[in-house]
Amino acid sequence: MKKPPFCPNSCCDNYHFPEGKWFVKSGTYQTKRLGQVQRYQCRDCGKRFSEEIFSLDYHTHKYVSYKTIFQHIITSSGIRDLSRILNVSCTTVTNRIARLARQAMAISSQLTQDIRITEDLVADGFESFVSSQYLPNNINILAGKDSQFWFLSDYSQLTRKGRMTPKQKEKNSEIKKIVNIGRITVYKSFSDIIRKALDLHDHSEWEATSLYTDEHKQYQAVINALSFREQASLKHICISSKLARTITNPIFSVNYLDRELRKDNSDHTRETVQFAKNVNNLMDRLAIYRLYHNFIKPYRINKKEYKDETHGSMAGISTQNIRKELRTLFTRRRFLGQNLMMDNSDRKLWCRCLFTPLSFYADLYPGYILS
Ligand SMILES: [Zn+2]
């Protein structure tokens, strides 16, 4: 690193607007992993820091290939698989995945902060579970109708429904007593999706944006609670779930994402033992997959005219900006305070605020991730 990009003290002016010669060199120190590391000091606030603070490997003792983790996480590998491949513990793998997820969230936020949508939107819930089939969840997804760009995902916890044996019913009612969650969480989660859709509409040049969903009652309830002006700018169109899941289906985008997630993300592959055990870790892996889907995966593989297009470029994001951000995906650490436009759903995940039912352990995180 030739020079530090900014002062890592989020209260200092040089955090957002470093200008001129704002730092001085302040000695070096030796580490086993990196050798000689340069130290600096901010001339304004006096904070001393090393170049290592800007590295994705900040606060680690062992080098692990982020590229290998990324390649496996998007192709349905489990944590134990990765632990064996990389010859490190499962905890180390999970730690590096969380770092990659924060990179993915920051890059998504950076690339979409000025987006001007020129298409309608589609939203739907993706059903999976954490820890036990008695703890199903609904991950609400907002996507572009034509570009299949994945704007946002938001987690909501459910309790088990449907046909059960008497023994299963008994266990389910016991779990419901401990895990006091109603279907209301879908309402809250979908409200965040609607906020994002309204925000995207406000940055478009359209008089009204259509939002396609299925006929879920909670979705309609959220729409009904909007103001008259909001309802006029977001035209809600319900599509029957019985309609064939083909490319002509108006909610094809989310159906397509649903299919890809079942195929590529081991947390959601049906009838296997590779299900998620922690909500934050599940959403971390989903954030990485979202980055891959939006900015790396080709838009279409069989059509020459879309050969170099990604879902992000189809949504109007510059290919040059995408490449620039991806170049430092595995190296330059992103900071929360430098991504103030990040969506609330991602911000909650960044700070590991999602609650895992029946978990007796708190989700601890290192303080430096909040800077
Ligand atoms: Zn400073």
**Cα(62)–Cα(41) distance, rounded to whole angstroms?**
26
Residue type, 337: G
38 CA → ligand 1 middle, Å: 17
**Cα(121)–Cα(209) distance, rounded to whole angstroms?**
7
pLDDT in tens, 86-121: 999 999 999 999 999 999 999 999 999 999 999 999
As to burial, measured by CB atoms within 10 angstroms (0-12 exposed, 13-18 middle, 19+ buried), residue 19 is exposed
pLDDT bucket at 359, cuts 50 / 70 / 90: confident
The mean pLDDT of 134-162, rounded to a whole number, is 92
The per-residue pLDDT for 17 is 92
Contact (Cβ atoms closer than 8 angstroms) between residue 260 and residue 150: no
16 CA → ligand 1 middle, Å: 10
pLDDT in tens, 12-63: 999 999 999 999 999 999 988 888 999 999 999 999 999 999 999 999 989 9
71 CA → ligand 1 middle, Å: 37
The mean pLDDT of 151-157, rounded to a whole number, is 93
pLDDT in tens, 244-266: 999 999 999 999 999 999 999 88
12 CA → ligand 1 middle, Å: 5
Task: Provide DSSP, 204-255.
Answer: SS-S-EEEEE---HHHHHHHHTS-HHHHHHEEEEE--TTS--STTSTTHHHH
The structure's pTM equals 0.93
23 CA → ligand 1 middle, Å: 8
pLDDT bucket at 184, cuts 50 / 70 / 90: low
24 CA → ligand 1 middle, Å: 11
What are the domain boundaries of the chain? Answer: 13-54, 66-370
Strands 136-144, 121-129: pairing is antiparallel
**Cα(90)–Cα(39) distance, rounded to whole angstroms?**
32
Per-residue buried b or exposed e for 294-308, using 16+ beta carbons within 10 Å of the residue's own CB? bbebebeeeeeeeee
229 CA → ligand 1 middle, Å: 44
